[in-house]
Structure formats: structure tokens, C-alpha cells
Amino acid sequence: MVARPKQIKINHEFIKELTKLPECEHLKNCYQCGTCAAFCPSFKYSKVYNPRRIVQEVLVGLKDEIIKDTNLWFCGLCHACTEQCPQGVELSEILSHIRNLASKIGNIPAHLVGEVKNLLETGQVVPPSSAINRRREKLGLPEVPEAPADEIRALAESTGIKDMVMRNEEMEKEKERQIAEEAKARMEKLEKEKKEEA
Ligand code: SF4
Ligand code: SF4
């Protein structure tokens, strides 16, 4: 029997859910011209990220594939695709929404989680280190002023971002636990096979 390729799950509800959002009003008008990719700075430098292909996958209903795709985070949200699309597709806004969905399942780069944690702790995404302050002093620049951390924390928490970070950390721990368990099971299997051969 000929082996069949892996089946892809088509989510027919995905496009219906998206087109209810104001930013997705023109999504179905995409005719795959590729203008978004031609103007995309991320696509220029990294061909693994292609905004035209993302729209195509959205239209086909590949929700699981899209929100698990780590390449989503290559988008710099510069909005060039939205400005240039001849069909009025607000792709950068759609990508923001998709990345929110991705972050809910733990698909969010570790460096961004670290930056959000910094923001919640200090009110700054990149808190100035003593090395930064020394360099600033050499250049005759004043120290970076402290941020109103409490206010920024309150704002950030009201968006649900703190819960998202905590959920993400739990998911990462679970992934690590699973990897460790799989490695242990493999080692045990190997040792058992060795004993049986001996
Ligand atoms: S530029 Fe607009 S119409 Fe063309 S592929 Fe991109 S989203 Fe679709
Ligand atoms: S918003 Fe993202 S997808 Fe659109 S052009 Fe900029 S980097 Fe590319």
C-alpha cells in the first residue's frame, strides 16, 4: 500500500472567526499577488517568513499550523504590507491577532517573555545595567531615569500579559519535564537492549 502524506487539519471555523474582526474585513479579498512579501523587510532577509503564504494558510484554514509556526515572530510589525496591499488586507493587524493566539498556546520566543518580565519588574523592557550607565557616563550622557514601574505594571497587568507570561513559564516547564521523561525512557530502553544482547 502506498504511504499517504500526513493529513493536514483544515479549520473551517478559523476564517469565519477572523472575518468577524474589524481588522479582517478585507481578508477574503486577498488574490495572492505577493505585494506584501515584496515590501516586507523580514521576507527580504529571511525567506522562511513569507506574509503572502501566511494569508494563504489563513484562507485555507490551517489554524494549527499557523499558530504553532515560530516564524510568525519574524514580523517586525512595520505595517508596510498593510500600506501596500492593493486589496486593503490589513495584514499587520491580522498578524498581531494571530500572534496573540500563538502566545496563548505558548508559541512565544523566550527573549520576548524575558522582556515582558523586565517590564513587569522594572517598568523597562531593557533595564540599564551598571555597564550601560558607565558607558553613558563616558559619553557624557546622564543615567537613564527610572521608569514609573508601578503604573506600567498596573497597565501591563490589566492587559492580561502577566497571566500570559506565567502560563508560558508553566508550559515551558511542562515541555522540559516531557523532554526529560522521554530521554530517561530512551536511556532505559537502550540499557535494557544492551543487557539482553549481553
Ligand atoms: S498584498 Fe494583499 S492581496 Fe496581495 S498577497 Fe498580500 S495580502 Fe494578498
Ligand atoms: S508588518 Fe510584518 S509582514 Fe508586514 S511588511 Fe512588516 S514585517 Fe512584513
- Residues lining ligand 2, CB < 6 A? 39-42, 51, 75-81, 91-92, 95
Look at residue 163 in the predicted model and tell me its pLDDT. Answer: 83
Please give the distance of CA 123 from its chain centroid, rounded to a whole number: 22
Rg of the chain (C-alpha set): 23
Q: Which of 65, 62, 92, 63 is nearest to 78 (CA)?
A: 92
Pocket test for ligand 2, best of 44, 75, 83, 96 (most atoms within 8 A of CB): 75
* Domains of the chain by start residue, with CATH: 9-105 (1.10.1060.10)
Span from the CA of 58 to the centroid of ligand 2 (angstroms): 16
Percent helix, percent strand, percent coil in the chain, to nearest 5? 65, 0, 35
Q: Report how far residue 190's alpha carbon sits from residue 186's, in angstroms, rounded to the nearest whole number.
A: 6
**Among the bound ligands, the one closest to the CA of 46:** 2
Helix (H, G, I), strand (E, B) or coil at 183: helix
What confidence tens digit (pLDDT) does each residue in 136-182 have?
999 999 988 888 889 988 888 888 888 888 888 888 888 889 999 99
Blockwise average pLDDT, block size 10, the chain, 198 residues: 75 88 92 96 92 94 92 94 96 94 88 88 88 92 88 86 82 87 92 85
Q: Which of 75, 109, 107 is nearest to 92 (CA)?
A: 75
Model confidence, pTM: 0.77
The atom of ligand 1 lying closest to the CA of 87 is: 3
Look at residue 1 in the predicted model and tell me its pLDDT. Answer: 63
The atom of ligand 2 lying closest to the CA of 74 is: 7
